[in-house]
Chains A and B, each alone.
Chain A
Amino acid sequence: DAGVIQSPRHEVTEMGQEVTLRCKPISGHDYLFWYRQTMMRGLELLIYFNNNVPIDDSGMPEDRFSAKMPNASFSTLKIQPSEPRDSAVYFCASRFASGGAVTGELFFGEGSRLTVL
């Protein structure tokens, strides 16, 4: 069974450009999370969805960031316009947790390494 799939793995862009990161969660998982990781700030939760509905987007840095989950098998994180301080590794993760089936396990994708020049 394929794990969480993210694309692109690496993205180098110039300040002001739009960036779109993509994620395909594990089939059957009902929660999807977007994280950002940097040396300075560690692992930050940006937003998470339950059954395709955004539940908490309080971690989204500002209006330049937006995320969508149009269906159970696809999500995007968009940055427009991008800035150098957005440079980070962006992880998508998914889990199945409905009905109280909580085991603590999140399945992470390999991450998208973004560099904004």
Chain B
Amino acid sequence: GQSLEQPSEVTAVEGAIVQINCTYQTSGFYGLSWYQQHDGGAPTFLSYNGLDGLEETGRFSSFLSRSDSYGYLLLQELQMKDSASYFCAVDSNYQLIWGAGTKLIIKP
């Protein structure tokens, strides 16, 4: 079967750094994407890793290791507005296979 595993919830302090891990097992792999979803909103694209290594976009970075079927999203200088759910998704044969999402709780 196809599956993605990510923690259901992570708690961090404002201003800190948090890492959200994702492991996957899928047939067909083009890349790993990360999406953010605020309560009541739609998922919005954050980053994509098609090759191994680190991709940086402002305060957010994403990493992929294809040999380990593993990736992570790193959020730095956490702000209260980063409180949201974060989904990893594998791009497989032009459709995305989604993880269940990680709820990020940020405390002042």
Contact = CB atoms under 8 A, between A and B. Distances in A.
Interface stretch (B10-18, B19-27, B75-83, B89-97): B89-97
The interface residues of chain B, by DSSP majority, are classed as strand
B98 A42 contact: yes
Contacts of A108: 42-44
B42 A111 contact: yes
How many of chain B's residues touch chain A, expressed as a range? 20 to 34
B32 to A, nearest CB: 7
A19 B43 CA distance: 23
Interface residues of A, number: 20
Contact of B95 (A42, A56, A110): A56
A107 B35 CA distance: 11
Interface in A81-110: 91, 97, 102-110
Given A43-B43, A43-B101, A111-B42, A104 B94 contact: no
